[in-house]
Chains A and B, each alone.
Chain A
């Protein structure tokens, strides 16, 4: 057990990155009452956005990280428009968006020659843009529709599959790695036996920074007030003149940007990117938001460190292959003993 301090440090920085992922998750749940299972795919794409910036555009990593966050944020907004918004209300703009998305997919993965491929991709993107504009300009009041209550989660499963397969078709199913020497590798000594590498310091620092920014955004700004109002009651917010669709888009942007940041940071720290990397973090993230109490951002942050520690310690002292089994064990335990979460208020979790 002499390496315990080292394991605790590892648990700390991994927990911090997990907290970013889970806070985005729980934010969307708190506002819209839906579980966006595509959050793991957004996380993965965040990592790959940074990878593209570094390898294709030769950007320094300091630009690539915020670029990846913005990219993942917009991806999450697009996801909302494709997967969730049509379930709230059907619009012609949504239909155009979908048509553009299918054209785009055809270009991206279809068996086309190189020139036609790019023409298809670009025209698909333009049609999607048209769909966005059409929805933005239509001042018609929204007609909400009735769908099966499982529809959003099912729709997000579909979206996950599209996003992951898209990544496989572009980057292959194998592991991609960032070029070496992005960071100094010489670790700092924390104690006599425990070290922390510069990239791990970055993960910890940036995660804590983003957590503080998020709590400021939610608690102190006009946007945060609007988000909390919608979480409380969408209908009342609409009556109060809040542009609900716009605020929901903002929420998805924040959620996606946080997932993207987590993806880049963990991708850098392990230097391991693969299209299926979202699936691994998905179960941990779900455990975190349940342990933290669904919809509670602070609870998710604390629970993330707990789950991070469990993951690291189970790998170090028991067996790496059973890591996720321990995470799931925690999940079941919390469901059994305290379904409102360890840190959550007792919201309505009973059926």
Chain B
């Protein structure tokens, strides 16, 4: 057990982070919203932590809190602007937001230098990004001290989303996803609950980005481009967008699969694209759909009946 853990600790780290990210996009999808800014919010979290760590001596935990606070602060105005409009506008606004985050990460130093007395100051470090100092992890209860926060964060995210799912809030978000007009005539303040889902998702993404920074160690814009956002989308689409188990399944499968199927490594984007398209077309409720799990049984039943009928046919001859 311990051997398995220590050999695969980096995969486990990434699975846990990706589950948190999958949950962050799931909560918006479950409300019928498509937010394409999760990679952007992740970048905000990671850069917040990285800048605080390289520029000051403030402890990591404070950076983590700041990351989430910044995510919420930025998600609120975007949500307020875009969520009163048709669903498509949020997708477009968040797409643009993700681009802006990338542009700022690349060129942030130019802005910093405008306001700073030191004209050579390096904060964002452009395309090279910020490299965090390496610390040899200490093992606590069998897991490195870098893994523990991620594990706890992931469990807390699961707890929050599962509790909401099973409460009146889950019901309300589902009703907005299915028919927001009907929901509004029941007295549900649709815009407010959408904002709630969007901000919660963005905060979870920012926190995951912050916790992921010490794992990837190099925080550069390339880590948080749109294709990273599509990875995250793939977790939720494959796993299922309407139940919190979906993104957990999706993230686990898609994160550990490339390890198993190394020959697909260069074609990762094609595989992601295919998974997204095929699951949205032929498996719209995702792997979490209970009906999916009956398919093998049905197939066996079908095969069995075919075989028995074939046997009967041969007997008849």
Q: How far is the CA of A155 from the CA of B275 in the complex (A)?
A: 10
A142 within 8 A of B: no
B150 within 8 A of A: no
B57 within 8 A of A: no
A316 within 8 A of B: no
Complex interface: stretch among A6-14, A81-89, A127-135, A237-245: A81-89
A-B interface, 4 closest residue pairs, ranked by CB to CB distance from nearest: A158-B276, A161-B273, A158-B277, A162-B273
B290 to chain A, nearest CB (A): 17
Question: In the bound complex, do residue A321 and residue B87 qualify as a contact, i.e. CB atoms below 8 Å apart?
Answer: no
Known contacts A148-B177, A339-B85; can you find 5 more A-B pairs with CB under 8 A? A158-B230, A158-B275, A169-B266, A322-B107, A332-B81
- Residues 174-222 of B at the A interface (beta carbon under 8 Å): 177, 180, 190-191
Question: In the bound complex, do residue A165 and residue B270 qualify as a contact, i.e. CB atoms below 8 Å apart?
Answer: yes
Given B107, B237, B267, which contacts A109 in the complex, CB threshold below 8 Å? B267
Q: Mark B75-91, 1 if CB is under 8 A from A, else 0.
A: 00000011111111101
Question: In the bound complex, do residue A162 and residue B274 qualify as a contact, i.e. CB atoms below 8 Å apart?
Answer: yes
Chain A interface residues toward B at CB < 8 A: 35, 82-83, 86-87, 90, 98, 102, 105, 109, 111, 147-151, 153-155, 157-162, 164-166, 169, 279, 282-283, 286-287, 290, 294, 319, 321-322, 324-325, 327-328, 331-332, 335-336, 339, 348-351
Given B83, B100, B107, B233, which contacts A154 in the complex, CB threshold below 8 Å? B233
Question: In the bound complex, do residue A159 and residue B99 qualify as a contact, i.e. CB atoms below 8 Å apart?
Answer: no
Residue of B85, B227, B270, B284 most packed against chain A (CB within 10 A): B270
Chain B interface residues toward A at CB < 8 A: 29, 32-34, 81-89, 91-93, 95-97, 99-100, 103-104, 106-107, 110, 177, 180, 190-191, 226-227, 230, 233, 237, 241, 263, 266-267, 269-270, 272-278, 280-282, 284
- Chain A interface, DSSP helix/strand/loop, else mixed: helix
Q: How far is the CA of A350 from the CA of B85 in the complex (A)?
A: 4
Question: In the bound complex, do residue B96 and residue A331 qualify as a contact, i.e. CB atoms below 8 Å apart?
Answer: yes
B94 to chain A, nearest CB (A): 11
Question: In the bound complex, do residue B93 and residue A155 qualify as a contact, i.e. CB atoms below 8 Å apart?
Answer: no
- Smallest Cβ-Cβ distance to B184: which chain A residue: A351
- Smallest Cβ-Cβ distance to B80: which chain A residue: A336
Question: In the bound complex, do residue A161 and residue B276 qualify as a contact, i.e. CB atoms below 8 Å apart?
Answer: yes
Q: How far is the CA of A287 from the CA of B227 in the complex (A)?
A: 20
- Smallest Cβ-Cβ distance to B272: which chain A residue: A161
Q: How far is the CA of A290 from the CA of B88 in the complex (A)?
A: 11
Q: How far is the CA of A325 from the CA of B177 in the complex (A)?
A: 31
Question: In the bound complex, do residue B92 and residue A86 qualify as a contact, i.e. CB atoms below 8 Å apart?
Answer: no
Question: In the bound complex, do residue B81 and residue A321 qualify as a contact, i.e. CB atoms below 8 Å apart?
Answer: no
Question: In the bound complex, do residue B270 and residue A283 qualify as a contact, i.e. CB atoms below 8 Å apart?
Answer: no
Question: In the bound complex, do residue B84 and residue A328 qualify as a contact, i.e. CB atoms below 8 Å apart?
Answer: no
